[in-house]
A and B are shown apart, each in its own frame.
Chain A
């Protein structure tokens, strides 16, 4: 294999990324409530989990919110990134970056104040969705713009000269070009959403629970093996979902034609 040092460095970074994960997965099979040292193998935490309706409901909510919000955020963020690159509306960078720059507590409080005291909206899944889209757009926009930066614009002009409609130009040229950025942006938005505690805490309505809310309330005392188990399952589920998506829409994962 060429570039052995590159492989070595990359493997080390992957190891860094997976080290804590190994701990999480390992201890989800550990037969000790204390979660501090290896005692023995068990699958009972998973059994317990399957009977924990609150937890399962929270997981379903989280996945739903993450999928929908990251899809919408990817579309809106891509538009924003494209607009910044091509049309340069002077307000766009500010509008896109500020939500990223704003501390999340403030974002949560401000959205809650807005939903309740300005719109008089009842809180629920919708308010969480809107909040998650809001903080994800910027991430997608920045990555899409970074992808487009320095791109050769002549091919768009060529397409136009050949009589392609803007839509056709977008589908045939722009979209394949930014596809890796869309995938990366979607994945970022997805993890931001599925992980968010602070903002969700504020905008979640009564009786609507997400996984981070559920886990946070359990973790306050200590991470139980059950929490490790749900985290493990969540990773497995995410992987499965992505693979399913890849099967039904193979081009999502290989956008380049």
Chain B
């Protein structure tokens, strides 16, 4: 009867673990920590910035503003830079979580288009530099839509049973109470900030009437569903639609993906670079922002993921088919019909969330 000691068994697991631990890299002294959306900066640009500043750029990722906010709210620290959307910028500023920008270190700030400066969420751009934009709109399978003779420039496509009847089970909408509510409000001719209970109720009825025709609430799977062809119409973000379009083309699907901003108006999201107070290297962070404001680097995010670009100097570097896409770069007249989402107060948020639960349960 042989029974080796428990220590030896443990050692068998412990020793390789300790060896692995020894291999972990020491964190470099000159490291800039960026808490970013995934795939927002190309590897090439990262390399060039690292060479330019003689430092390391370390990225952690989030896929939703709220994830980032929740983590910071609970006390996470150490991020030099964040890339929040407008409403999150406002919330961070009012929480006094951001460091003020030193504009003397940002000569390239002049490259930003005037219409994106001085936004309501940060008057005078004391804390934020606009970096990328997207529009929440409708993406569609061009072949199917033509075949069925459906319009593509109106929210009616996802809300009106007379259209949806031809699309049953082939439509997804965003799994986001604010975004879906905003689309409904726009369709009903109201502002996305509308919070009159009667109008909320009106929107709820509109959504409930359309819901039986929808396949799912989806925040990400619709990209692939569109590209494969199982979903024909999706409510989603312009950069995601761009991705679906690219994927479908790359896979040589027999159809193409189009996307357009409904004529009733839609939600515009502006993501900005901001300095978090807990960051240790504001010097490097400023250098990074200025570097990213140079036209060639600013164009990166548009070429990489099909984001709209608030940087005027970037335009010559952006691939022509992207720069010319009105879904990505709304023409000035259309820009006027776009609205950014602003946070509701906690009470309204709770009421809306309850309504959202009801929408899903019914």
Binding site for B on A (CB under 8 A): 32-36, 39, 57, 60-61, 63-64, 67-68, 70-71, 75, 109, 112-113, 115-117, 122-123, 125, 171-172, 175-176, 201-202, 204-207, 209, 213, 216-222, 241, 244-245, 248-249, 251-252, 257
Contact = CB atoms under 8 A, between A and B. Distances in A.
B31 interface: yes
A171 B3 contact: yes
A135 B4 CA distance: 29
A75 B10 CA distance: 9
A220 B63 contact: yes
B169 to A, nearest CB: 18
Interface in B23-38: 23-25, 27, 31, 33, 35, 38
A251 B3 contact: yes
Interface in B129-170: none
Nearest to A172: B3
B79 A112 contact: no
A221 B220 contact: yes
Contacts of A39: 251
Contact of B63 (A122, A175, A217, A248): A217
Contact of A64 (B1, B20, B77, B220): B20
Contact of A116 (B10, B27, B67, B76): B76
A76 to B, nearest CB: 12
B228 A221 contact: no
A34 B228 contact: yes
- Return the 7 tightest CB-CB contacts between A and B, nearest first: A116-B75, A249-B12, A217-B61, A217-B38, A206-B78, A34-B251, A112-B74
Contacts of B25: 57
A257 B240 contact: no
Contacts of A216: 63
B3 A68 contact: no
B288 to A, nearest CB: 15
Of A57, A71, A213, most buried by chain B (CB within 10 Å of CB) is: A71
B347 interface: no
B246 to A, nearest CB: 9
Interface of B: 1-6, 8-14, 16-17, 20-21, 23-25, 27, 31, 33, 35, 38-39, 58, 60-63, 67, 70-71, 74-79, 220, 223-224, 227-228, 240, 243, 247-248, 250-251
B9 A68 contact: no
A84 B315 CA distance: 68
B75 A117 contact: yes
Contact of B70 (A109, A219, A220): A109
B118 to A, nearest CB: 31
A41 B16 CA distance: 35
Nearest to B11: A249
A116 B4 CA distance: 41
A175 B1 CA distance: 13
A218 B59 CA distance: 13
A64 B13 contact: no
A201 B71 contact: yes
B227 A60 contact: no
B12 A220 contact: no
A67 B16 contact: yes
Nearest to B251: A34
